[in-house]
Amino acid sequence: MNYDKNNIFAKILRKEIPCKKIYENDHVLAFHDINPQKKIHVLVIPKGEFTDFDDFTKRATEIEMKEFLKGVSHVSGLLGLEKKGYRVLSNIGQDGGQEVPHLHFHLFGGERVGKMVEK
Ligand code: AMP
């Protein structure tokens, strides 16, 4: 899938629409999900134009990959999630239920997250 420059996270990165920012560096942006599914529900996105995790693993540089994973870990640390645990999830494409076509990792925590997936 070609990257859609008008997706909502691209607009957040361009500061055309606001977000509740938690952390930002040259490579990643982390912000609260607008419709939280758990007490803590945060999204971490790379600044590069990647539609999903599959696209990212094929096209990202080693630095982009390293910095994205480090960014996710840094944000979980900022939120204190490592103490009691949390879940990282990334939806990919239609069967994955992805709504926004810019790679994002969801971080869920602050309470028991529950079953891994719906049956
Ligand atoms: P996904 O289904 O994995 O693509 O998840 C997209 C997520 O983005 C959903 O959890 C939405 O609630 C969230 N979302 C959509 N628009 C915004 C926004 N403007 N700010 C923060 N989160 C958003």
- Ligand 1 within 6 A of CB of 34: yes
Structure confidence at residue 117 (pLDDT): 87
Q: In the prediction, which pLDDT does 32 show?
A: 98
Tell which one of 99, 105, 118 to mutate to probe ligand 1, the residue whose CB is within 8 A of the most ligand atoms. Answer: 99
- Find out whether the beta carbon of 96 lies less than 6 Å from any atom of ligand 1: no
pTM comes to: 0.97
Q: Do 56 and 46 form a contact (C-beta atoms < 8 A)?
A: yes
Bridge partners, 40 (sequence order): 109
Residue 119's pLDDT is: 81
> What residues have CB less than 8 Å from 1, skipping those under 6 apart?
51, 52, 55, 93, 101
Give domain limits for the chain.
8-109
pLDDT by residue (tens digit) across 29-57? 999 999 999 999 999 999 999 999 999 99
Q: Collect the ranges in the chain with pLDDT lower than 70.
A: none
Q: Is domain 8-109 given the CATH code 3.50.90.10 in the classification? A: no
**pLDDT value for 1:** 73
Q: Which ligand 1 atom is nearest residue 100's CA?
A: 4
